[in-house]
Structure 1
Amino acid sequence: MADFDFTQRFIFENNDVRGELASLEESYAHVLAKHDYPEPVATLIGELMTAAALLVNTLKFDGVLVLQARSSGSVPLLMVECTSDRELRAIARYEVEDISSASTFKEMMPDGVLALTVDPKEGQRYQGLVALDGESLAECFSNYFVNSAQLPTRFWLYADGQRARGMLLQQLPADRLPDPEEREASWQHVIALAATLSAEELLGLDNETILHRLYHEDALRVFSRTDVRFHCSCTRERSEKALISLGLDELKLLLVEKAGSIEIDCQFCNERYVFNEDDIIQMFAEQDATSASSTVH
């Protein structure tokens, strides 16, 4: 998978700027295979997956990064989860009758909000919000960093239903260039060159070629690739815990209502977990046995 799904960091040796490139193919294909998304929606979900892969490398945490874009339009929800281990899953909600092959981001997601949530295994949960007021998801993410008063950051995100690619540039705290004017000039130089990169080039060229075309006159240090993969965190055990939380009496009523079996579907991967009466009884028997064992010890 390293040949198809990865991120790769680079830094400018003489500027206070770092960069990241992301490439998703197999993980993107896994997500699209789970749902029959219209082409414009498949493009948006690929771009959001790429943004998550880029962002998770800028955050030093152990947990899950969640990106949610919500709107009042034909795409009311885009959602991507990416763990600190670079495991991705994603989903979109859409109204197919309101989407055509020519639908734009602004048309599909008007009056939208982008939420970025960092949910660490330990420590405090963080969430930032920004309006989806850009012409593209890439512009909205760039605006997020402007509005959140964090380090200046620019995004380039593209997807075509086969491959999703992205690039991030971020200005670092002053070090190599302490002079404010030189620092700003170097930042403008870096992003101006990046702006010349077309969607076709980013989707079709390898990282080495891209970086040479853009920055052959700049000293770069390019780091090793970091693998990214599709993975859904749903399990039968997690479904059992969700059912147990409802209580045995409630589940018995639900079994009658559902003609003897309860089904739990994962919205991300379409996996279906089915529980009959024997399963339910066994679940609560095991829970009681575990509780009794804990009490004795």
Structure 2
Amino acid sequence: MSDHTQRFLFEDTDVRGEMVRLDASYAQVLAKHPYPEPVAQLLGEMMAAAGLLIGTLKFDGLLVLQARSGGAVPLLMVECSSGREIRGIARYEADQILPGAGLAELMPEGVLAITVDPAKGKRYQGIVALDGHSLAACFSRYFASSEQLPTRFWLNADGRQACGMLLQQLPADRIRDATARESSWQHLTTLADTLTAEELLSLDAPTLLHRLYHQEPVRLFDPLEVRFHCSCSRERSATALVSLGQADAEALVEEQGGEVTIDCQFCNQRYAFDAADIAQLFAGGGSEAPSATRH
């Protein structure tokens, strides 16, 4: 499979890792909107981070990563379900995008929100400033400041592939001495810091791990597939219209010349509703597929 996450474990230490590679799903996201190269790279790194994080969470639901700023890129947003279905979008000001611009130039004074929305249970959100030199540094700092397990990220994207690696320190088990635990963690992350963008984007997991950790016993688990999927639907769009109330929904259709359309910002799918559709919705008839003249 071209798009996957893959977990690994250091046998003699309390450290686990995750790797992600996105080809087809990244290409499908980029095909929906004509992103300039620096924006496409940032969005790819955000997608890779979502793929890595979903593997660290044991829940049924949705992970949402959202970065906002007042700069050239006011929004980056990626959603990834516990079933590893991913989608993403970016908003940008085309006249402000400079070639080779990085995170600091594109999203100055930004904030990063990480939201876990389980199917059952309470929604959780954590926020950190986008004041690192890269998205990887910002995600790493989020975990360092949130009193969660120490976690480091390495992310890269080039408009064709989006890849990443994560290392996370686990609760004390194999190594209980605090000094020895810290020494082991520093050793493994220091080696990971030698990883180049070219290596991360071009090498498969077994080759990359051997290159970095050939002296460490590492157990590599089977890969798990990631795929692009947009959760929009005609039914969801109809629900949004119903939430307006019948009078407002009918007025909206009239204002729009007899047909109101709801566009999905992620995949550009358009859902159209005319007066007959609105009447059907509020009569309890549901949101059956549109006629051949509507999409």
| TM-score range relative to shorter protein | over 0.9
| Separation in 2, partners of 1:284, 1:73 | 42
* Unpaired stretches in structure 1, ≥5 consecutive residues: 289-297
Q: Which residue does 2:42 correspond to in 1?
A: 44
Alignment partners' CA distance in 1, 2:125 and 2:48: 19
Task: Look up the equivalent residue of 1:26 and give its one-letter code.
Answer: A
Per-residue CA deviation, residues 67-106 of structure 1 (Å, 9 max, x unaligned), is: 0111111111101111100010111111010002121110
Per the alignment, residue 156 of structure 1 pairs with 154
TM-score (norm 2): 0.95
Query: Which residues in structure 2 correspond to 1:46-65 (within 5 Å)?
Result: 46-65=44-63
* CA shift for structure 1 position 253: 1.5
RMSD value, Cα: 1.0
Give the letter aligned to residue 66 of structure 1. Answer: V
**C-alpha distance in 1, partners of 2:223/2:6?**
5
Aligned to 2:204: 206
Contact 2:206-2:220 at 8 Å conserved across structures:
no
Letter in 1 for 2:235: E
Deviations 1:244-276 (A, max 9, x none): 111221122112211111000000110000111
1:83 corresponding residue in structure 2: 81
CA offset digits 1:15-67 (Å, max 9, x no partner): 11000000001110110000011100000000000000100110111100000
In structure 2, distance between residues paired with 1:167 and 1:33: 25
Q: Where do 1:213-232 residues align within 5 Å? A: 213-232=211-230
Matches within 5 A, 1:127-166: 127-166=125-164
2:282 aligned partner: 284
Query: Residue 223 of structure 2 aligns to a residue in which SS?
Result: strand
2:202 corresponds to which letter in structure 1?
G
Select between 144-153 and 275-284 the one with higher mean Cα deviation.
Answer: 275-284
Correspondences of 1:1-297 after superposition (within 5 Å): 2=1, 4-286=2-284
Residue type of the alignment partner of 2:222: S
Structure 1 residue matching 2:188: 3-state secondary structure: helix
Separation of aligned partners in 2, 1:34 and 1:149: 37
* Helix, strand or coil at the partner of 1:259: coil
Letter of the structure 2 residue corresponding to residue 58 of structure 1:
T
> How far off its partner does 1:286 sit?
2.4
- CA distance, structure 1, for counterparts of residue 168 and residue 28 of structure 2: 30
Q: List structure 1 segments (4+ residues) > 3 angstroms apart after TM superposition.
A: none
What TM-score results when the alignment is normalised by the length of structure 1?
0.95
Equivalents in 2 of 1:190, 1:85: separation in Å? 29
In the alignment, the residues of structure 2 paired with residue 126 and residue 287 of structure 1 have an alpha-carbon distance, to the nearest angstrom, of 36
Instruction: Give a deviation string over 1:140-184, Cα, whole Å, max 9, x none.
Output: 000000010111110000000000000000111111111111111
1:174-231 CA deviation, whole Å, 9 max, x = no partner? 1111111111111111011111110001001111110110011000111000110111
Task: Tell whether the 8 Å contact from 2:7 to 2:222 is kept in structure 1 after alignment.
Answer: yes
Equivalent AA in structure 1 for residue 122 of structure 2: Q
